[in-house]
Chains A and B, each alone.
Chain A
């Protein structure tokens, strides 16, 4: 619309159109209801204004009317709820083979790392038409990753991963805002999402790659001696990590959890919390010894040890846990 005076945000993702449709429906419903109330009130106020010698008519009520105007709105509300629920469900279920970007929020900047290894600060390059999944955590307080043009928002919490996803549909540069108050420079914690045509994106990617994140993770895995226990045969003192990501894991205490990002993270930072059945409690904690970015790299590495996600495999979506416990990770914060 007007450049200096937008009345509507850009529509740049697959979700945007759907959210807008629901929003417009709500505007129509609200508009109709408002108009109805306004005109009725104004009409009655005028039509029944005080006149000499004319008394008000005492009307007790009308139960049929009460039921009508309770039940009809209830159905309208249910419809709105259902429509919204469907959209919400979609927004919290990243598609199976999304490209992954790890996000670390801190006061007052966004640090992003593509799975392929590119690092960005306060900017995120993505190609048009590709599903992108953000795996996010905070180094300090709660932040919130908000891209109005994508109609996407997800709080970013310290101590755990939260997940969001989008598929961009229109090249351009769009606002990224932090939208959970986080201190002095909260309103300065902004950036851009740069959506590019695939060719442009490839060009950008190939400049200055440090190698995929999983490769970084593999290096850290070796440096920290993880392979000593996590061997690829059955002789290891720790579970074999090949193919473990995304699959159910039986725990010592009888529970079964899904090995998603939050679970892997928790195992690194608080190994005793969800010990795998059949293994001794000897894994040391790496809390304080690894940074958030290093944890991300390790998670990416463990993911890479599983085959590419096949149909039927439980995709890790930290927002939709198989077992509530994986989402209630109170894993320790890492510097």
Chain B
């Protein structure tokens, strides 16, 4: 709960006369804020709250997933075995690297390293594209194996890991795959949005908009990217690593 008394000195600026004093502050400072610090604090709090809503959004899916996994553990384990944990693991590494490049990009902005900033932003997007590419590959695999829920779904005679002679119930496996596609699909959608965001950040960085004093959009974009990364870090073990030895 920031007390804004520190802005008291700036507080008595007549608001209608404000237009005349434009040159006196950073053009990035929006009119309704008193100081850049207030603007940055507001942006930061806003982004954290938005991420909280995203947690609740994914939370409903995680809740449904955990319930069914508890009920149909064997069937889910069988289904989980059939998705490619190597690709999933690679994707995890890719995303973690991309979070590193994001952090480096922000550091670059804070230390006026334009070249590094642009390079790190580009690298982040490259990692993001790699992630989506690998994901596409996985989806294609699933499509070929008829593991996509719907009329062509088939999961007959798949053994339950650790229970020789027992086979997974195809209906329960279909629930796994439904949740798999919805959860990873929603995550991928957020990645795509993130890529769009970073495209804009790259363009803004190219135009020299970010300085050590002002790099809030980078920070906010970074927060979003880290969030998408963290969601994946939960998704990966839950979906890919059921009962693997």
B71 sits at the interface (CB 8 A):
yes
Q: Are B171 and A332 in contact (CB under 8 A)?
A: yes
Q: Are B165 and A280 in contact (CB under 8 A)?
A: yes
Question: Which of B165, B167, B169 is the one whose CB lies under 8 Å from A273?
Answer: B169
- Report the minimal beta-carbon distance from A333 to chain B, rounded to whole angstroms: 11
Q: Are B171 and A281 in contact (CB under 8 A)?
A: no
**Chain A residue at minimal CB-CB distance from B165:** A281
**A273 to B165 alpha-carbon distance, docked (Å):** 14
Q: Are A281 and B71 in contact (CB under 8 A)?
A: no
Binary CB contact string for chain B from 150 to 186 against chain A (1 if under 8 A, 0 otherwise):
0000000000000001110101000000000000000
**A332 to B171 alpha-carbon distance, docked (Å):** 9
Further pairs besides A273-B169, A281-B165, A328-B71: 8, Cβ < 8 Å: A270-B169, A272-B166, A272-B167, A272-B169, A280-B165, A281-B166, A281-B167, A332-B171
**A328 to B171 alpha-carbon distance, docked (Å):** 16
- Report the minimal beta-carbon distance from A83 to chain B, rounded to whole angstroms: 33
**A40 to B169 alpha-carbon distance, docked (Å):** 65
Contacts of B166 in A (CB 8 A): 272, 281
**A280 to B167 alpha-carbon distance, docked (Å):** 12
**Chain A residue at minimal CB-CB distance from B75:** A272
Contacts of B165 in A (CB 8 A): 280-281
Segment 217-275 of A: residues with Cβ below 8 Å from B: 270, 272-273
Binary CB contact string for chain A from 310 to 335 against chain B (1 if under 8 A, 0 otherwise):
00000000000000010010101000
Segment 280-301 of A: residues with Cβ below 8 Å from B: 280-281
Binary CB contact string for chain A from 187 to 225 against chain B (1 if under 8 A, 0 otherwise):
000000000000000000000000000000000000000
> Would you list 13 pairs from A and B whose C-beta atoms are within 8 A, ordered by A residue?
A270-B169, A272-B166, A272-B167, A272-B169, A273-B169, A280-B165, A281-B165, A281-B166, A281-B167, A325-B71, A328-B71, A330-B71, A332-B171
**A330 to B171 alpha-carbon distance, docked (Å):** 11
- Report the minimal beta-carbon distance from A331 to chain B, rounded to whole angstroms: 10
Segment 78-131 of B: residues with Cβ below 8 Å from A: none
- Report the minimal beta-carbon distance from B189 to chain A, rounded to whole angstroms: 29
**A328 to B167 alpha-carbon distance, docked (Å):** 21
**A330 to B167 alpha-carbon distance, docked (Å):** 18
**A270 to B168 alpha-carbon distance, docked (Å):** 11
**A96 to B241 alpha-carbon distance, docked (Å):** 46
**A176 to B166 alpha-carbon distance, docked (Å):** 46
**Chain B residue at minimal CB-CB distance from A282:** B165
**A270 to B166 alpha-carbon distance, docked (Å):** 13
**A75 to B77 alpha-carbon distance, docked (Å):** 49
- Report the minimal beta-carbon distance from B174 to chain A, rounded to whole angstroms: 12
**A272 to B75 alpha-carbon distance, docked (Å):** 10
Pairs of residues from A and B, 6 with the lowest C-beta to C-beta distance, nearest first: A281-B166, A272-B169, A328-B71, A281-B165, A330-B71, A270-B169
**A121 to B142 alpha-carbon distance, docked (Å):** 48
Most buried by B among A272, A280, A281: A272
- Report the minimal beta-carbon distance from B77 to chain A, rounded to whole angstroms: 12
- Report the minimal beta-carbon distance from A146 to chain B, rounded to whole angstroms: 29
Binary CB contact string for chain B from 169 to 212 against chain A (1 if under 8 A, 0 otherwise):
10100000000000000000000000000000000000000000
Contacts of A325 in B (CB 8 A): 71
Segment 54-92 of B: residues with Cβ below 8 Å from A: 71
Contacts of A273 in B (CB 8 A): 169
Contacts of B167 in A (CB 8 A): 272, 281
**A332 to B166 alpha-carbon distance, docked (Å):** 19
- Report the minimal beta-carbon distance from A255 to chain B, rounded to whole angstroms: 11
**Chain A residue at minimal CB-CB distance from B168:** A272
Contacts of A272 in B (CB 8 A): 166-167, 169
Contacts of A281 in B (CB 8 A): 165-167
Contacts of A330 in B (CB 8 A): 71
**A71 to B165 alpha-carbon distance, docked (Å):** 61
**A328 to B68 alpha-carbon distance, docked (Å):** 10
Contacts of A270 in B (CB 8 A): 169
**A281 to B74 alpha-carbon distance, docked (Å):** 13
Contacts of B169 in A (CB 8 A): 270, 272-273
Segment 131-148 of A: residues with Cβ below 8 Å from B: none
**A272 to B158 alpha-carbon distance, docked (Å):** 13
**A281 to B168 alpha-carbon distance, docked (Å):** 11
**A277 to B142 alpha-carbon distance, docked (Å):** 34
**Chain B residue at minimal CB-CB distance from A329:** B71
**A57 to B120 alpha-carbon distance, docked (Å):** 65
- Report the minimal beta-carbon distance from A145 to chain B, rounded to whole angstroms: 26
